[in-house]
Every structure is written in structure tokens, then in C-alpha cells.
Amino acid sequence: MSKQATQVPRRRFLQNAVSAAGAAALAPMIIPSSALGRDGAVAPSERIVVGGIGIGRRGGYDLGCFLQQPDVQFVAVADIKKKRQGEVKKIIDDNYGNGDCVTYRDFRDVLGRSDIDAVLIATGPNWHATAAMTAAKAGKDMYCEKPVTKNISQSLILAETMRRTGRVFQAGTQRRNLPHFAFACELARTGKLGKLKKVYAHPAGMQAMMSGWLVPETEPAKDDVDWDMYLGPAAWRPFNKKLLDGFNFEKGGGFVGAFNGGGVLEWGSHCVDLCQWAVDDCLPPVEYNAPKDGELVARYENGTELIFREKGWIPLGSCPVRFEGEDGWVEAGDSGKMVLSSPELLAGRTVDEIGGYPATFHVRDFLDCVKTRRQPKGNADAACNAHIACHAANIALHLDRQVNYDNKTHTFINDVQANRLRSEALREPWRL
């Protein structure tokens, strides 16, 4: 797909032209129909060549979505775990019926390949932003799992990097490509609910539990698990096997995952993202209050409230959102179903019910954008504004008081404590 990718076959063709001409005199030239794009196959020139970075549990699911696409050729994977390298290679090779997938320990070896157009980034959250920006500077498009940033500063730099480099970035917020969530957001965004008053997100955890050191364990051999590379830009700490599970490692601002009580980012990066879409992807809220009675209330500049709440949901599955306007409301969740204040809001339309938050449609959106160069649904600007809202809410949660955010200066107003939490130093030699 890229200029680099298309130039290589051409050079090889020219280099082999003489020998090929000689062989033609001795034997008929047989070209497989797949090479020409016949019989439903995609011609090599139209395929998107993809590499993987950190393909663990969630990444394995994403990989399956990529391998389903006929115009994808997955050729390489980098992982700090030797065992996982072999496991992923087998999945890819079995899919294509060959042994061509190349494995690496250092993700920069994947980025250094001129034949690769795009990468799937599914590392632990501590790596997402650094890997994505490194990929962009290497000229690669990327599908990046969430949360995509660890703090406000990273969010701003990531969005600016994607704008400056012109790379296609898709955050793994796949609910933007599911019909019932899209319809609910459309109702809010287009005024069908009347003036929008409140948007609700379910963070699935609002405890200020911070990550840190666990009991030191014997570090494995570097060839088996590269612990230093696993930590990457994160602050050093001794090896503990539990930390190799991404849910037990810091997600953002030092918080660990939602299931361990870590703030609002883990699920918030999904449901707040949908709330941001409902308010037409405007800038993040400017006021964040301390949690009270199971709710954390934030306010946009126009007065609309973004409410993080734990209880009071209609049973529509995980990651629910609710949008309330002066003339109506809608609530949706991962069951694929919606509940509307009035059936008239459907306006005779039928909305497909797709439960279980599959990523296939989101991956397809990304691949189409790699070809067309348009912005995907989960683009960097949209994702980073949603993440800033989550990071700011986590700061209010941690400080247990109101904080006020200025979207022009990207700072908290007259608040030294809050501003110290906007960023963190990266461990050498990593840079954004």
C-alpha cells in the first residue's frame, strides 16, 4: 500500500527480468489467479501489510479481526515474551498456510521494515503512546489499543504528532462502529433529544488505587521475558510476574485497571469516548468535582454535564451510556440494545442489534482509512479529548476536590497540585 511497499516488488521484478525471460522459453508462465486479484482474492498491490506489537490477550482478539480481512497481509510480530512470539507466529502462519511470519523482541525492528504499512499496537497501556508516536515517526499507520495515553500531556502530544505526521490512527474504542451506540450518539449530536443537558458514563471503578512495587521475584532470562523492555518508558520497579498482566499494571496517572479499583480510565476510555461523540467531539469538560454519592460530575463550557456514575443503570450490559436532553433521552449498553424515552425517536428506522462489542467493524474502518487517508471513527483527536476528560476526572478523584481545566492553556487554573499530575517523566532512553 505504501510507496515503500510497492517499490520492492517492482525492483525484484526488474532484477529477475532477464532470468525470467530465459525461463519462459523453456516452460509456460503460470501466474496464480490470486496474484491477479481474481476469484475473489485481493491482488498483492492492494494488500495492506501489517505488523504486530505486543500481541497478548486482547491483541490476540484484535489479530483475529485483522486476519479475517482479505486485503491484510500480516507479516511480523514483536513481543518481549519469547513464548508469546511463537504462539502468535503459529496463529499467523496457520492462517496463511506458510511459515513466513517473522518474530522480534524489539518493536523498532518491525517499524524499521520498509514493506510494512501499518501496525497493530496491543502492548500494555504503559507502552501505547510511546509506541504509537514512534510508529508515526517511522511512517506507519496504526490501530492502537486503549487506553492510548497515561496522562494529559501524552494525550496532547499524541494528537499533535498524528496531525503533524499525517498518519492514520485508530484507537481501540470499537463501540464507535457499533450501530446502536452510533444511533444513540446521533440522536444526541443532532438535536433529536432537544438541548443536551446530561451525558452519563459508567467508569466501572472510582477508587484511587495506585500502582507501585510488588514483592520482588527472580527476574527471568532476557531471552524469555525482556523485563526492561516491558517497563519501557514506565518508572523502574523489580520484576513480579503479576505485573505482566496488563490489568495489574498502571493505566494512567499511576492508577491500575478498573477491575482493581483504579480510577475511571479503563472503562472510561470507552464510555467517556461515546459521551464525547454525543457532544459532537467538542473539547473536554472544564470543571471536575470530587465524587459524591457514587457520582463524579464534570461540566462542559456550554453547561452540559458529563456524569461518571456507578449505579442506576438500565440492565443493558456492560459499558452503558445515557444521554438526556430537554425533549428526551436514550440509554445503550453492550447488549446491543437501546431504551428510548419515546419510540418516535426511531423515526421509522431499524437499528441493528449487535451485542458483545466486536472489533471487526472498527478494524475494517481503520483499513479503509489507510487506503483513503480519511480520519477513522476513533481518530487521535477524538480519542485524546476523551482521555483528557478521564485523566482530569482521575485527578479530581485523587485530590478529592474540584479542579478546573483550561482548554486553551491545557492547564488547571491556579492549581499547582493538579498541574503536577498532568504529566510524568519517561525513563531513559524513551522520548515522545
Residue 402: all three cell numbers together: 474540584
Nearest residue to 159 (alpha-carbon basis) of 389, 382, 368: 382
pLDDT tens readout for residues 128-159: 999 999 999 999 999 999 999 999 999 999 99
Burial 219-238 (b: 16+ CB within 10 A, else e): eeeeeebbbebbbbbbeebe
Indicate whether 25 pLDDT > 50.
no
pLDDT tens readout for residues 245-274: 877 888 887 887 765 556 899 889 999 999
Report pLDDT for 30.
45
Peptide bond into 179 cis (omega under 30): no
pLDDT tens readout for residues 49-103: 999 999 998 999 999 999 999 999 999 999 999 999 999 999 999 999 999 999 9
Instruction: Give the pLDDT band of residue 28 (cuts 50, 70, 90).
Output: very low
Distance CA 231, CA 237 (A): 8
Instruction: Give the pLDDT band of residue 14 (cuts 50, 70, 90).
Output: very low
In terms of CATH architecture, what is 3-173?
Answer: 3-Layer(aba) Sandwich (3.40)
The more confident residue out of 1 and 385 is 385
pLDDT tens readout for residues 317-356: 999 999 999 999 999 999 999 999 999 999 999 999 999 9
In the chain, CATH 3.30.360.10 covers: 174-355+381-432
Residue ranges in 253-379 assigned as alpha helix (H): 265-278, 360-372
Side-chain-side CA neighbours of residue 201 (13 Å) = 31
**Stretch 165-183: mean pLDDT:** 98
In the chain, CATH 3.40.50.720 covers: 3-173
Peptide bond into 285 cis (omega under 30): no
CATH topology for 174-355+381-432 is Dihydrodipicolinate Reductase; domain 2 (3.30.360)
What pTM value is reported for the model? 0.89
Residue keyed to cell 475473489: 40
Residue 324 is classified by DSSP as E
